[in-house]
Amino acid sequence: MLGLIAGALTTSGYIPQIVKGYRTKKMNDVSILMISILCVGMFLWIVYGYMVNDLALLISNIIGTTFLAMLVTMKFHYTDGKPVDVSKQ
């Protein structure tokens, strides 16, 4: 139960950024490098959660990865119509 609560709290941390990006239609200040690193980390947590059969790890990281995918989509869609230069992240 504690793992599910912790997962819900940490995963919900992405929601304010998603809401702000959707409302403002601006994602210039969001780092694609940060999102990418978090995505890889969460994917590894999913693999680990599967290996140790930990439902809390699986659920929270699958939801977190979904939120990060939304942020990536928004980043490419709402960044001033210009290609994103990942070297400046």
Question: Within a domain: residue 86?
Answer: no
Question: Within a domain: residue 84?
Answer: no
Question: Within a domain: residue 59?
Answer: yes
Question: Within a domain: residue 87?
Answer: no
Q: How many domains would you assign to the chain? A: 1
State how far the alpha carbon of 24 is from the alpha carbons of 21, 35, 70, 79, in Å: 5, 19, 15, 11
Question: Within a domain: residue 50?
Answer: yes
Name the amino acid, one letter, at 3: G
Question: Within a domain: residue 64?
Answer: yes
Question: Within a domain: residue 61?
Answer: yes
CATH number, position 61: 1.20.1280.290
- Check pLDDT > 80 for residue 24: yes
76: which residues sit within 8 A by CB, 6+ positions away? Answer: 84
40: tokens are: 């890889």
83: which residues sit within 8 A by CB, 6+ positions away? Answer: none
Average pLDDT, the chain: 86
Q: Give the global pTM.
A: 0.78
Rounded distance between C-alpha atoms, residue 15 and residue 79, angstroms: 19
- Read off the pLDDT of residues 26-39 as tens digits, 9 standing for 90 and up: 888 888 899 889 98
